Chains A and B, each alone.
Chain A
Amino acid sequence: MQTAIETQNLSKTFKSGFLLKETQALSDLNLTVASGGIFGFLGPNGAGKTTTIKLLTGLIRATSGEGKILGKPIQDVSVRTRLGFLPERPYFYEYLTGLEFLHFCGELHGMNKTDRIQKIESLLELVQMKGLETRQLRRYSKGMLQRIGLAQALINDPEIVILDEPMSGLDPVGRKEVRDIMLLLKEMGKTVFFSTHILSDAELICDQVAILIQGKLKNQGKLETLLNPKVTSIDVCLQNVTEQQIGALDFVSTPVKVYEHTLLLSLENEGKLSRLMDWVHQESGKIVSITPRKETLEDMFMEEFNAVKA
């Protein structure tokens, strides 16, 4: 499979202030993003996600190391004809209308007027902005700006789409719309590389993820191989039994949480569940729910994050 994005020891140090104090924003990033599918670039705020994206899109220069997009060096301007980019919290020319802005972006890609008109028409449908394109961008809401931003990123029908925090600041409806567009782009065979710190969004749509913490890559791979597919614990909700009764059971090692008349406890395996069910039956208690839990992206993320902190 062709590699969409590849970096080797990519590093960036910023110098700031009068004394040019150095801050290492990214160290020795070795990232491989395969073509096709959705790649989630995860990390807490300040992890270096935006720095990486700016390096990939040529907005900043690497201090050392190198990066390639579709086999070409990131400094090569020609590769950007096959790239689409939506920056974080996009801010576009507010004096332009959405339509003028999209035409301008198409012109920058060297598209002729006929092609632009056709492409803009289909993009407005895709991002559900039909009928709103003649409004000035200053009159757009945050969600509308994000959608027109997505449209400009797709104007050249790119093979790779890089989105920096595309869901940030959006309401649940807006987030779902952006997720749906990303899934559609995947169906169209494009590679979507997006950064986020909203793990639930990433878990829903990503094929692969990479976790970046304090400028260093901590983990990278397919979600199904990174996350433990086995059941790690079973949450059980009980009624008509007391906390003291449960506490006396030798096979329940985790603390019991009490919510009014309901007890919530977590068991490590199915053997313990079966023993608990027998006991509840004996005591004439009531099982309200049984929820098996698998490792989530959040569990893995927190594990990596705590390891770095420690």
Chain B
Amino acid sequence: MKAIRAIAMNTFKEAIRNKILYSLIFFAFVMMLVSLFLDQATVGQRNKIIKDMGLGSINLFGAIIAIIVGINLVYQEIEKRTIYPLLAKPVRRVQFLFGKYLGIVLTLFVETVLMSCFLLLLVFVYEGRIDFYLTVSLLTIFIELTVVSAVAIFFSSFSSPFLSGMFTFAIFIIGHLTPYLKQFGRDSGNAFFEQAATFFYYVLPDLERFNFKAEAVYHLPIEPEKVILTVLYGLLYVSTLMVLSTLSFERRDFK
């Protein structure tokens, strides 16, 4: 456990000392500020726009950070051979991978909290109160980011950073379209296509499950069971991916 904690903290240190992270957070802040100037197009809906764009920015930039950090921090260890002295110590490969993952999750947590505070502050300035309803959506966004980073770790456990980045980004996009995938297969009228669509529907992460933006922005009722199930779904998906990543990483030769 000590080894996992040490690797996680070291990964976190590495991530927060990387300038790319700050650039992306800066862009997310800029996107949120831009929403303040969109009120002319949306008369009377300004606060909704701020919340909607804010949550969207946190989600998008969070995913980009999850992909970049998730892939780079594992790949660099191998490419720059920093992993050599590590694995020659009493550290199991599974501990290394979990340590890396937890470090990335910690980075995403701090980054999400930072961006969330900025959004809540903007809303507070505009509405004069803290909108706690947004926190449900912020929580599920964070869980989604942990899934995306697990996908990134999974691909980088056996593939190059470029391919891993492409695959993970593709899964992030497709993951938001999976509810349509099943419907699309059914509508195609082709048995093979329908089966393939159903297969991918179950295998790929359903990232739309984590989308509570509309409920948060328009203050629609949110069932607690639905949120709990969503969190559990995220945890289950992350666990499965980490098991698969470990299996692939265990067999890998560091040439």
A residues lining the B interface (CB < 8 Å):
14, 54, 57-61, 77-78, 80-81, 83, 85-87, 90-93, 95-96, 100, 104-105, 107-110, 149, 152-153, 156, 162
Contact = CB atoms under 8 A, between A and B. Distances in A.
B132 interface: no
A105 B91 CA distance: 11
Interface stretch (B38-46, B82-90, B144-152): B82-90
Contacts of B91: 77, 80, 108
A157 B136 CA distance: 50
User: Which 8 pairs, one residue from A and one from B, show the smallest C-beta to C-beta distance?
Assistant: A107-B6, A85-B88, A57-B88, A87-B84, A60-B253, A95-B17, A59-B254, A80-B90
B14 A109 contact: no
Given A14-B253, A104-B6, A108-B6, A91 B88 contact: no
Interface string B85-106: 1111111100000000000000
A152 B90 CA distance: 13
A57 B82 CA distance: 14
Is the contact region of chain A dominated by helix, strand, or loop, or is it mixed?
A: mixed
B195 interface: no
Given A109-B89, A152-B85, 6 more contacts: A57-B87, A59-B254, A95-B13, A108-B3, A110-B2, A110-B3
B10 interface: yes
Contacts of A90: 81, 84-85
B129 interface: no
Contacts of A60: 253-255
A108 B72 CA distance: 22
Contacts of A54: 254-255
Contacts of A78: 90
Contacts of B17: 95
B67 to A, nearest CB: 20
In the complex, which range does the number of interface residues on chain B fall in? 20 to 34
A105 B2 CA distance: 11
A141 B88 CA distance: 24
Interface in B138-187: none
28 contacts: A58-B87, A58-B88, A59-B253, A60-B253, A60-B254, A61-B253, A85-B85, A85-B89, A86-B85, A87-B85, A90-B84, A91-B81, A92-B82, A95-B13, A95-B18, A96-B10, A104-B6, A104-B10, A105-B85, A107-B2, A107-B3, A108-B2, A108-B6, A108-B7, A108-B90, A152-B85, A153-B85, A156-B89
A77 B14 contact: no
A108 B87 CA distance: 10
- Most chain A C-beta atoms within 10 Å of own C-beta, residue among B5, B87, B89: B89
Nearest to B79: A91
A153 B13 CA distance: 22
A149 B85 contact: yes
B160 to A, nearest CB: 14
Contacts of B86: 108
Contacts of A104: 6, 10
A77 B82 CA distance: 18
Nearest to B250: A61
Given A60-B254, A108-B3, A80 B89 contact: yes
Contacts of A57: 84, 87-88
A55 to B, nearest CB: 10
A156 B88 CA distance: 12
Contacts of B92: 77
Nearest to A79: B90
Contacts of A149: 85
Given A80-B88, A85-B88, A91 B80 contact: yes
A59 B250 CA distance: 10
A108 B13 contact: no
A95 B14 CA distance: 7
Contacts of B6: 104, 107-108
